[in-house]
A = this chain, B = another copy of it.
Amino acid sequence: MVASIDQPRLRVVVAGCTGYIGMQCVRLLAAHPHVDLVSLRGRSHAGRRYSEAVPGSGVELPVADGLDIVGADVVFAALPHTVTAGTAQRWLDAGAVVIDMSADFRTPDTAAYERWYGFPHPAPDLCASAVYGLVEMERDRLRDAQLIAVPGCYPTAALLGTLPALRSRTIEPHLIVDAKSGLSGAGRSPSLAVHFAEVNESVRAYGVQGHRHGDEMLSRLRRAHGEASLTFVPHLVPMSRGILATIYLRPRAGVDAKTISDLYRDFAAAETFVRYDEAPPATKSVLDSNVAALNCTAQGDTVVVTVAIDNLIKGAAGQGVQAMNVRFGLPESAGLTVSSPWP
């Protein structure tokens, strides 16, 4: 399907509709002016109406088990990692554009996939054809993508906060990214690690030895720049949503900080969903919006870039909708908002 001049309505299926990312996909797509949500797929609440499964959603479609997508133009797949990899070819064969929220197709480096998941990638050929769904980085390639791999939440923040400087070759390609995430980033499955009483009034680092999002970032940084190295440490902070990435950069010899911050201002001015703030952004200022807010400030010889996103919107569902809009020639901002509900 190709976007017609009068912006036809798209028939969209959400597969995996009751996890945190799937829920945001449903919510955004249900209100999207050019979308007909035609089917919701989910195992855990199969047979119930969606509004029963998700309090306050206002969406009355039934939830159905199975991964069939008859007649859909688009599938949003918010399934556990490895499930989409085994199903995507079938959806593509049925003519749908697939927008995948999992890590399955984010890097052509299938060796990394095997290292993180413990078995060979189920569809290595598709990996090569997937387009990375970070619109600000891959807008042109997304216009005719059939399989879109929506970036992880951490890589979204880190890449948006790095690319202006890295592409312009104004910084050394050795980055430190210290990221802080809310608990919805851990997914909706219960565990002691997300028990309120365990994590409230607490902050901690995790994945210090290495995190699969680090590999994802690095592969993208290298595509953009060639050589690059990265230290990435994620942290959990007691909030439901939001990511703040604090990025430590070293300017190349002779480059002053003002030159670099101007690159970020220009980047924000050119992009619908990137905002440059004069002070380091609070995650609350992008809550429930598709905006990435940036600030770039020098401290001595180091340039510190801070990037705030909502991990479930710009870091997942909203980014997927933005990519869909680009793919089908819709206004890039259709169904998305730049406004946060502060407080």
Interface residues of A (CB under 8 A from B): 20, 23-24, 27, 30-31, 54-59, 176, 178, 180, 182-184, 188, 190-192, 194-206, 208-210, 229, 231-233, 235, 237-242, 244, 246, 248, 275, 277, 280-289, 291, 293, 295, 297-302, 304, 306, 308, 312, 337-343
Contact = CB atoms under 8 A, between A and B. Distances in A.
A302 B231 contact: yes
A190 B192 contact: yes
A195 B196 contact: yes
A239 B203 contact: yes
Contacts of A176: 176, 248, 302
B308 A196 contact: no
Tallying the copies of this chain within the complex gives 4
A31 B339 contact: yes
A212 to B, nearest CB: 13
Q: Which of A27, A59, A195, A246 has the most CB atoms of chain B within a 10 A radius of its CB?
A: A195
Contacts of A239: 200-203, 237-238
B204 A298 contact: no
A302 B239 CA distance: 28
A244 B209 CA distance: 18
Nearest to A177: B178
A194 B246 CA distance: 21
A240 B304 contact: no
Contacts of A191: 190
A231 B197 contact: no
Contacts of A206: 280
A135 to B, nearest CB: 18
